[in-house]
Amino acid sequence: MTCQGANQGTWYEIGTWYDETIEEPVRAVVKLLRNNGFNTICSCGHTGVVEMEWYQDYEITKLWDLLSNRGYKDFAIEGHWETWPVYRRTLIVTLGSK
């Protein structure tokens, strides 16, 4: 996922930030996720993949419900752990059809 740089936008500039930073095919879903508390890290409109920070286990259910309620189908959610050099957990969504 090299198409998008780190999410460094701040909320007051978020309107143009989305347009300039997020590839159009995933722009709506990245906006949806960020508006619902998911801090997206990177995304690619070509593959339909969005990666976000993951802190609490309930966020998996929240993510699933959020996408399902918005009509997304055939998506996959993958949990990702890294323990070195920095401990971090991320959720990776691969979108299917809508």
User: Count of residues binding Zn ion (CB under 5 A)?
Assistant: 4
Position among 14, 44, 60, 92 found at the interface with Zn ion (CB under 5 A)? 44
From 11-19, 26-34, 43-51, 87-95, span contacting Zn ion (CB under 5 A): 43-51
Is the Cβ–Cβ distance between 89 and 54 less than 8 Å? yes
Nearer to Zn ion, 3 or 32 (CB): 3
Q: Which of residues 5-24 bind Zn ion (CB under 5 A)?
A: none
Confirm or reject binding of residue 32 to Zn ion (CB under 5 A): no
Confirm or reject binding of residue 3 to Zn ion (CB under 5 A): yes
